[in-house]
């Protein structure tokens, strides 16, 4: 019998689940698996260029090197995340076109189903407004345990409003703190740069005890030292959400995004940072957002987002095995 989600079929043929993992659509069938990929295809809440609603589909299909039938070992980590972890694709949240409020409700409910079943949700955006339901659903599920938030982004996304709109991709971090889903002191941001937000937002973030590492800190000190600090900042927490806005990378590596900002991370810096964090920090949930395929070229951005997820899965797998980040790497002679 043919079925969706066969790891031994070519990447370009058959079903379009994330890296050919099995498709699961019933909450009851999630139980027993480790990780669920889920799409949140909305972009009604952007302040500039749209298109991120096409992100989940593009990221799922961006496994351009093809799925390797028997094994896909991470060359640096020395393990195959698909062997260590039981990973399924939970389809897309049943969003409602042109109704961001109902779409957010659907995303919150869908992510909640995944966490309630004991899996780590990996949400493919969608614009960054989905951080509100994504992180909120995980926080709700683990309460009263506090949830940390590591946020890679060019922008802080902590405005009170944009043009008077509070449900926006520029506001989720403030919404999460104000509603009590996350404490400001448990938020760490990496890669901020450019010309937004401004003094009001930074003053608010400072008042909430946010920590942040500007892109300038990465230039000055190097990504490894910054990630050392990020991991140290949240060392007390047992549950951390990892939010990756693809615009944290330089537009050279992520042109397909709504609000690109020159001067960002290199792809290799982000990939290494994500694997390290997923290996050393207990990840309770993750999202990769703001991939906008209409602005992409040669699938550069979608491929990067796909690999961001693979590095996170590899890190989670290493952590499950109780291994360090590079114990098994294939080092050159
Ligand atoms: Mn963002």
Asked if the structure places residue 331 within a domain, the reply is no
Using the mean position of ligand 1's atoms as its centre, give its distance from the Cα of residue 256 in Å. 14
Q: State pLDDT tens for residues 21-44.
A: 999 999 999 999 999 999 999 999
Bridge partners, 187 (sequence order): 149
**Does residue 9 lie within any of the structural domains?**
no
User: How remote is the CA of residue 7 from the centroid of ligand 1, in Å?
Assistant: 32
- Phi, psi at 263, each rounded to 5°: 95, 30
Q: Strand, coil or helix: what is 308? A: helix
Q: What is the pLDDT of residues 207-221, one digit of tens each?
A: 999 999 999 999 999
Domain count, the chain: 1
- b/e per residue 86-97 (b: at least 16 CB within 10 A): ebbbbbbbebee
From residue 18, give the alpha-carbon distance in Å to each of 24, 190, 289, 303: 12, 27, 15, 12
pTM of the model as a whole: 0.96
Whether 1 is covered by a domain: the verdict is: no
The DSSP secondary structure of 236-271, one letter per residue, reads T-S-EEEEEEGGGB-TTT--SSSS--SS-B-HHHHH
Residue 272 lies in a domain: yes
In a domain, 329, yes or no: no
Which domain CATH number covers 97? 3.40.800.10
User: Is there a domain that residue 91 lies in?
Assistant: yes
31 CA to centre of ligand 1 in angstroms = 31
The boundaries of the domain holding residue 202 are 18-321
Question: Phi/psi at 39 (nearest 5 deg)?
Answer: -95, 145
Q: Give pLDDT tens digits for 92-134.
A: 999 999 999 999 999 999 999 999 999 999 999 999 999 999 9
Q: How far is the CA of 171 from the centre of ligand 1 (A)?
A: 9
What is the Å distance from ligand 1's center to 304 Cα? Answer: 16
Q: Is residue 80 part of a domain?
A: yes
Q: How many C-beta neighbours within 10 Å does residue 200 have?
A: 11
The CA-to-CA distance between both ends of the chain, in Å, stands at 46
Q: How far is the CA of 83 from the centre of ligand 1 (A)?
A: 32
Ligand 1 centroid distance, CA of 71 (Å): 34
Q: Is residue 136 part of a domain?
A: yes
Cα of 115 vs centre of ligand 1, distance in Å, is 23
Distance 118 CA to ligand 1 centre (A): 27
- What is the pLDDT at residue 37? 98
Q: What is the dihedral of CA 136, 137, 139, 144, to 10 degrees?
A: 120
């Amino acid at each position: 019998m043919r079925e969706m989600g066969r790891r031994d079929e070519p990447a370009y043929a058959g079903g379009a689940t994330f890296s050919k993992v099995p498709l699961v659509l019933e909450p009851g069938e999630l139980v027993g698996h480790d990780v669920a990929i889920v799409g949140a295809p909305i972009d009604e809440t952007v302040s500039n260029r749209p298109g991120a609603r096409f992100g989940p589909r593009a990221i799922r299909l961006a496994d351009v090197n093809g799925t390797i039938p028997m094994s896909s070992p991470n060359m640096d980590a020395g393990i195959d995340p698909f062997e260590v972890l039981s990973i399924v694709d939970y389809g897309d949240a049943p969003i409602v076109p042109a109704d961001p409020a109902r779409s957010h409700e659907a995303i919150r409910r869908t992510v909640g189903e995944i966490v309630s079943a004991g899996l780590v949700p990996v949400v493919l955006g969608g614009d960054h407004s989905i951080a509100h339901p994504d992180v909120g659903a995980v926080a709700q599920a683990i309460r009263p345990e506090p949830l940390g938030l590591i946020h890679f982004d060019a922008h802080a996304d902590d405005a009170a409003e944009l043009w008077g709109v509070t449900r926006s991709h520029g506001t989720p971090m403030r919404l999460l703190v104000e509603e009590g889903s996350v404490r400001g002191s448990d938020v760490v941001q990496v890669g901020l740069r450019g010309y937004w937000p401004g003094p009001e937002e930074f003053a608010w973030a400072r008042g909430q005890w946010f920590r942040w590492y500007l892109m300038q800190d990465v230039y000055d000190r190097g990504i490894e030292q910054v990630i050392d600090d990020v991991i140290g900042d949240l060392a007390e927490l047992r549950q951390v959400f990892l939010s990756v806005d693809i615009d944290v990378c330089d537009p050279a590596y992520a042109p397909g995004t709504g609000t690109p900002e020159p001067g960002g991370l290199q792809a290799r810096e982000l990939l290494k940072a994500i694997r390290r964090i997923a290996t050393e920090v207990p990840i309770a949930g993750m999202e990769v957002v703001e991939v906008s395929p209409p602005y992409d070229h040669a699938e550069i951005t979608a491929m990067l987002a796909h690999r961001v997820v693979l590095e996170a899965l590899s890190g989670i797998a290493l952590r499950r095995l109780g291994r360090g980040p590079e114990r098994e790497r294939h080092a050159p002679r």
